[in-house]
Amino acid sequence: MILGLDISTSITGITILDDTGNVLLFDMVDMRSKKYSSFFLKADAVERRLVQLKKDYNIDKIFIEESLQAFRPGLSSASVILTLGRFNGIISWISYKIFGFEPQYIGASTARKAVGIKVERGQNAKEIVLKRVMELEKGFLVEYTPHGNPVAGCYDRADAYVIARAGYLSCQTLKK
């Protein structure tokens, strides 16, 4: 089974695929509340969820979205990149300790390309990914706010799916 993670300090997306590529779980860990007031409490929350997943699923591969490697105008600062990288590293280490093997990393654009999601320059990648995941997986449910926007976590769960699916496809290529 494959575990795909989209790691963030606010919401971490989770997808599990079985050995034939079918979705077993779309999930997330929401760490936006005040009870997760520190970096370490957030890491604890993800760790608790991963421990539960190990009990519930026979995961033998983990794919994690690579953390940002460069600035994106208007979206990232050095502080944000460092914090996300640090959190990604901690969750990667926790994953290794829980499951007993090293996770593999896939860049977001590489994963989207592998899954057949094309994002043109200037388009909103999050919206395109969400729309495509909803088309590919009828079990991927999205709730909307009164203003018509997807509720928090939808984009993270969709990104985790893309990472898991790209990991699955990579494994299939290696088997051939």
Q: Is the pLDDT of residue 164 over 60?
A: yes
- What are the Cα distances from residue 94, in Å, to 49, 55, 106, 132? 11, 15, 18, 31
pLDDT at 83: 84
What does the block give as tokens for 90?
A: 């901690």
The CATH number for 93's domain is: 3.30.420.10
24-56 pLDDT, tens per residue?
A: 999 999 999 999 999 999 999 999 999 999 999
Q: Is the pLDDT of residue 72 over 70?
A: no
User: In the chain, pLDDT over 70 holds for what percent of residues?
Assistant: 94
Report whether 61 contacts 169 (CB < 8 A).
no
Of residues 23 and 75, more confidence is placed in 23
Question: What is the count of structural domains for the chain?
Answer: 1
Helix axes 108-115, 154-175, angle to 10 degrees: 70
Q: Which domain holds residue 113?
A: 2-175
- What are the Cα distances from residue 7, in Å, to 49, 85, 135, 145, 148? 13, 9, 23, 23, 25
